[in-house]
Amino acid sequence: MQHTSASQSKTQRAIELEERYGAHNYHPLPVVLDSGLGVHVWDVEGKRYFDFLSAYSAVNQGHCHPRLVKVMQEQATRMTLTSRAFYNSVLGEYEKAVCELFGYAKMLPMNTGAEAVETALKMARKWGYEKKGIPAGQAKVIVCEGNFHGRTITIVSMSTDPDSQGGFGPFTPGFEVIPYDDIPALERALQDPNVCAFLVEPIQGEKGVYVPADDYIPKAIALCKAKGVLFIADEIQTGIARTGRLLASCHQCGCSCATGLCENPDPAKRPDAVILAKALSGGMYPVSAVLANDEVMGVFTPGTHGSTYGGNPMGARIAIEALAIVKDEGLVQNADRLGRVFRAEMQKLVDAYPFVKLVRGRGLLNALVIEPRTAADGSPRTAWELCLLLRDNGLLAKPTHGDIIRFAPPLVITEEQLLEACRIIAASVQQFA
Ligand SMILES: Cc1ncc(COP(=O)(O)O)c(C=O)c1O
């Protein structure tokens, strides 16, 4: 980065403050962001970048979408929080909008992704005891190797990532970990009559955008239904148009989500429960939700679950608008079409440079795998260094698991912008060679 001395001090000051007073639970790329609009963000010295992380797919609707800013401002002067001790004038409208859009009977509003995952786990266990007759304290949830479902003690209890889990025991029991994208392993695990649920990401985002075989999700859904086990899709990162469908778990349902609604809402082919967060609020506010049918959600009765902020009118109003934007601006279709353009452009790099191993993804959730190397002068050439070059050239992305760079721009990106971003990536890869 070529900083002026004044802006360098702004950048340095922001970094130093975070380093000195903040817990070191992240390793950010050295860039200090100050504002954003649409697909772009600006740092404290006024340099503009393409945002190709989108706050881990929370900003699908683009930064500071004017419609979201407007409803947020309006709602902020009207009412922000009532608690669930009372009804509020927005929550019911929000619940209706979500249930109708995704085709589920009921939803339960929470705030962060991890809270919604916890909610789904509690729901699955209680359903297992009350509806399936699992003996008390014996309910088991099947999860996959390489999963990422959040950071609470219970959630890291089912993680296979040593960084997420190490040092945080004792862990919550009741999970069985099986390999991802492995139907025979799921079949075996489902033999246990005490299994209440299979919790899975339709694409493993944090793991490095691992896309399973096309028939994995449909087959897993069918197996779970046959065994009376809840299939729970964690769509926190993949949902809400990111992968070119409203939900990534509907890729094989046979519809194109062209109307913005599922055209084939066959309960036999759909997850029993879906977990949403991130883009549910377009990055404006922490909003998450669990969706399920009446029988499953019915296990929650007054006093069994809740959250002070869950379902607050501010979050609810923003989420209604965020979902309307997805439909009005055709973000499902944009992600589907431009995702193909992006992968075709990246494939050119895979063909041209041996250290660019592969591109994979769906819609606008994609990753490049970069083989780590050492330059002639002994300096490292890893995905991290490439991300620094990308930053210098005006595009922000972050490595995940060392050698993988995830590319996930806001879904409002135009083809012209996408091609400009691809030129930046190509030029950076060439510099990196
Ligand atoms: C698939 C998935 N599940 C759960 C979470 C946790 O969400 P949050 O960070 O809002 O708790 C994430 C966050 O990256 C995620 O990608």
* pLDDT bucket at 1, cuts 50 / 70 / 90: very low
Atom from ligand 1 closest to the CA of residue 288: 10
Secondary-structure percent of the chain, ordered helix, strand, coil, rounded to 5:
40, 20, 45
Q: What is the pLDDT of residue 241?
A: 96
DSSP assignment, residue 198? E
What is the CA 221 to chain-centroid distance, rounded? 20
Count of Cβ atoms closer than 10 Å to residue 26 Cβ: 8
Contacts of 131 (CB under 8 A, 6+ apart): 295, 296, 299
The answer to whether residue 234 is catalytic is yes
Handedness of CA 10, 16, 22, 25 (dihedral sign): positive
Say if residue 16's pLDDT is above 50: yes
| Strand runs labelled E in 38-105 | 40-43, 48-51
Say if residue 252's pLDDT is above 90: no
The neighbouring-strand residues paired with 359 are 368
The Å distance, Cα 9 to ligand 1 centre, comes to 33
pLDDT in tens, 80-107: 999 899 999 999 999 999 999 999 999 9
Please give the full DSSP string across 108-150, using - where no structure is assigned.
Answer: EEESSHHHHHHHHHHHHHHHHHHTS-PPTT--EEEEETT----
% of the chain exceeding 90 in pLDDT: 90
From CA 368, how far away is CA 405, in angstroms rounded? 5
386, 380 Cβ separation under 8 angstroms: no
What would the two tokens of residue 56 be? 């881990």
Handedness of CA 343, 344, 345, 347 (dihedral sign): positive
Say if residue 7's pLDDT is above 80: no
Instruction: Judge if the beta carbon of residue 117 lies within 6 A of ligand 1.
Output: yes
The Å distance, Cα 27 to ligand 1 centre, comes to 17
Count of residues for the chain?
433
Mean predicted lDDT score pLDDT of the chain? 95
Instruction: Judge if the beta carbon of residue 271 lies within 6 A of ligand 1.
Output: no
Q: Which amino acid is it at 303?
A: G
Q: What is the pLDDT of residue 401?
A: 81
What is the CA 329 to chain-centroid distance, rounded? 20
The Å distance, Cα 190 to ligand 1 centre, comes to 26
405, 391 Cβ separation under 8 angstroms: no
The answer to whether residue 198 is catalytic is no
Q: What is the pLDDT of residue 196?
A: 98
Instruction: Judge if the beta carbon of residue 118 lies within 6 A of ligand 1.
Output: no
The answer to whether residue 175 is catalytic is no
Q: What is the pLDDT of residue 31?
A: 97
Smallest CA separation from ligand 1 atom 16, residue: 237
DSSP assignment, residue 169? P
pTM > 0.85: yes
DSSP assignment, residue 233? E
Most distant CA atoms of the chain, gap in Å? 68
pLDDT in tens, 26-83: 999 999 999 999 999 999 999 999 999 999 999 999 999 999 999 999 999 999 999 8
Q: What is the pLDDT of residue 376?
A: 84
Element of type H or E holding 356 = strand 356-362
From CA 246, how far away is CA 98, in angstroms rounded? 12
What would the two tokens of residue 31 be? 């860039």
pLDDT in tens, 353-406: 999 999 999 999 999 999 998 888 888 889 999 999 999 999 999 998 879 999
pLDDT in tens, 205-232: 999 999 999 999 999 999 999 999 999 9
DSSP assignment, residue 261? S
Say if residue 203's pLDDT is above 90: yes
Which of 4-13, 273-282, 313-322 shows the lowest mean pLDDT across its residues?
4-13
Q: Among the options 43, 51, 181, 234, which is catalytic?
A: 234
Instruction: Judge if the beta carbon of residue 210 lies within 6 A of ligand 1.
Output: no
Q: What is the pLDDT of residue 8?
A: 59
Say if residue 258's pLDDT is above 90: no
Backbone angles phi, psi at 343, to 5 degrees: -65, -35
Question: Closest Cα to residue 406, out of 246, 204, 233, 161?
Answer: 204
* pLDDT bucket at 433, cuts 50 / 70 / 90: confident
Say if residue 251's pLDDT is above 90: no
Domains and CATH numbers, the chain: 5-61+331-432 (3.90.1150.10), 66-328 (3.40.640.10)
Residue to substitute in 121, 199, 237 for testing ligand 1 pocket (most ligand atoms within 8 angstroms of CB):
237
| Strand runs labelled E in 190-333 | 195-200, 230-234, 273-276, 288-292
Peptide bond into 170 cis (omega under 30): yes
Question: Closest Cα to residue 1, out of 387, 373, 381?
Answer: 387
Instruction: Judge if the beta carbon of residue 205 lies within 6 A of ligand 1.
Output: yes
DSSP assignment, residue 280? G
Atom from ligand 1 closest to the CA of residue 112: 10
**Residue corresponding to tokens 């995905």:** 383
Q: How many Cα atoms sit within 13 Å of 411 on the Cβ side?
A: 37
